[in-house]
Amino acid sequence: MTEPAYPVDEVRDDLIPLADYLDPEFAALEARNLWPKVWQQACRLEEIEEIGQFVVYEILTESIIVVRTGEGEADVAAMHNVCPHRGTLLVEGTGHVREFLCPFHGWRFGLDGANIEVVDPADWGKCLKPGETDLKHIQVGMWGGWVWINLDPDCQPLMEFLEPMASRCALHEFDKLRLAWYKTTTVEANWKTTMEAFMEFYHVQTTHRQMLTYTRDYSTSRGMGRHGWMSYEFATGLPLGRSERLDPQEVGDFREYLYEYGKQFKHDLASMQTERGYQAIQKLRELPADTPPEDVLAKWGENIYTAAIESGAGWPEGITPEYMAESGFDWAVFPNTVFLHPAVESVLWYRFRPHPDDFEKTIMDTYSLERFAPGEQPAWEHQVFARPEDGDYPLIYQQDFVNIPRVQKGMRSSGFAAARTNPMQERAIANFHRRLREFLIDPHAGDNLMAEDRLPPPGERNGDLDPTIDRVVEFSRKPGPQ
């Protein structure tokens, strides 16, 4: 058997080979063995609410039509966006049609892709066989309010593919969220370089240092099958409080942390907090200044819940502190999706795609999703910016956009041998690269993987950590404590 060009065991918890980011042959292998065979989120269901509404999803050279074909929730089709006559792209962007018309020679197709008309069909005689003039369908599925597509007819079923993430986020009701805003830009870095800036919190202590006034930022992460789970090293996963990295400072009023949190998320992130959530923080001023932290947090949660119910937006059932700790703070869904969901009613969602003309560029989509009261969803438009600096991204995104291209350029230095990932706080990145290389060799090799055990912090371990051991296990092996 031929040895793989990029062996899985070259990846360690503390080391990622540079080929994954810089080698054009690695990018070409992704184009052949990853993108045509993996599930990808194509669009929000709300983008195709009405029959005939469509979104074109593009990944490298592939162009896919995602269209609503009927009134049922599952009445969605995904088809290659190409006329079977001469290869003309049928549609671009988004739109609303009764049928698809080829703009070149006028061939027509129903919303289900079936051919309605071939102009002058007698010219072909008996050459055209049944089905040859229809649009070609691909796999399609729905989860979390998203439409997912896969070009591989032999792929793993979507809901199996999404495990164990889907089970651990099942109560969040992502399908009831709606778009608050949606932005796309091109970043000067490989798609993995870009994505990994949003797969760890280790960088917060430097890149987003202003957040340390209210964030106890020491984090943890681990592999969840093919996916990655990131959170903070506290029982609830909620990191509110002054970072231990800062000089100690007596804060008698715990509410101050929440006031600062609310202000920065409102202005510097513009996501992960609804206006209701912001006002719920302001209502904490009704409490005495010396209210114990646990009572402040309980009242904050009560205010958010009450405001959501009274507004008509509703709130998911069964959300407890224990569930939130298990669900985590941040997920990386293999291969190219990341979302942050601790606010429950406001989720920040990302998608990262390789640029079709340059594997050292990323098409980055950012979605802010909220749980709105009926009739309260604002009008939104998909904003597209050639460069991040052309857009109106708030401060926290700007800080990330400064670093990401510098990482891509710096990796090309002859003085840089490999990425040395943090085995605790960035281990989800190492797991991603193991699973990516595994998928490039065999797309079904990781079908039965599940969660790895959560690592204790360095001061609580017995002995040193061996970074060469892959701790993500298969279903057939009984896992340890989670």
Q: Where are the domains of the chain?
A: 1-33+178-249+321-457+466-482, 38-165
Q: What is the pLDDT of residue 455?
A: 86
39 — phi, psi (to 5°)? -70, 135
Q: What is the pLDDT of residues 92-137, one digit of tens each?
A: 999 999 999 999 999 999 999 999 999 999 999 999 998 999 999 9
Q: What is the pLDDT of residues 206-232, one digit of tens each?
A: 999 999 999 999 999 999 999 999 999
The model's confidence at residue 236, banded by pLDDT at 50, 70 and 90, is: low
The model's confidence at residue 307, banded by pLDDT at 50, 70 and 90, is: very high
Q: What is the pLDDT of residue 237?
A: 64
pLDDT > 80? residue 358: yes
pLDDT > 90? residue 458: no
Report the pLDDT averaged over residues 433-445. Answer: 97
- What angle (nearest 5°) sits at the alpha carbon of residue 269, between those of residues 57 and 234? 105
The model's confidence at residue 480, banded by pLDDT at 50, 70 and 90, is: very low
Q: Is 17 left (phi over 0), alpha (psi -120 to 50) or beta?
A: beta
Q: By percentage, how much of the chain surpasses pLDDT 70? A: 97
Q: What is the pLDDT of residue 476?
A: 44
Q: What is the pLDDT of residue 235?
A: 65
Token pair of 196 as six digits: 């990994």
Q: What is the pLDDT of residue 2?
A: 85
CATH number, span 38-165: 2.102.10.10
Tally of CB atoms within 10 A around 403: 16
Token pair of 122 as six digits: 């007698």
pLDDT > 50? residue 252: yes
The model's confidence at residue 454, banded by pLDDT at 50, 70 and 90, is: confident
Q: What is the pLDDT of residues 382-415, one digit of tens each?
A: 999 999 999 999 999 999 999 999 999 999 999 9
Those residues whose C-beta lies under 8 Å from the C-beta of residue 77, and which sit 6 or more positions away, are 65, 66, 67, 69, 111, 112, 113, 137, 140
Q: Name which of 197, 329, 192, 343 is nearest 270 in CA terms.
A: 343
pLDDT > 60? residue 482: no
Q: What is the pLDDT of residues 13-53, one digit of tens each?
A: 999 999 999 999 999 999 999 999 999 999 999 999 999 99
32 alpha-carbon distance from chain centroid: 22
Tabulate helix, strand, coil % of the chain (nearest 5).
30, 25, 45
The model's confidence at residue 475, banded by pLDDT at 50, 70 and 90, is: low
Bridge partners of residue 385, in order along the sequence: 185
Token pair of 284 as six digits: 């904490």
The model's confidence at residue 474, banded by pLDDT at 50, 70 and 90, is: low
- Distance, in Å, from the CA atom of 237 to the CA atom of 407, rounded to the nearest integer, reads 29
Q: What is the pLDDT of residue 477?
A: 42
Question: Does the domain made of 1-33+178-249+321-457+466-482 have the CATH classification 3.90.380?
Answer: yes
Q: By percentage, how much of the chain surpasses pLDDT 90? A: 88
pLDDT > 90? residue 473: no
Q: What is the pLDDT of residue 1?
A: 65
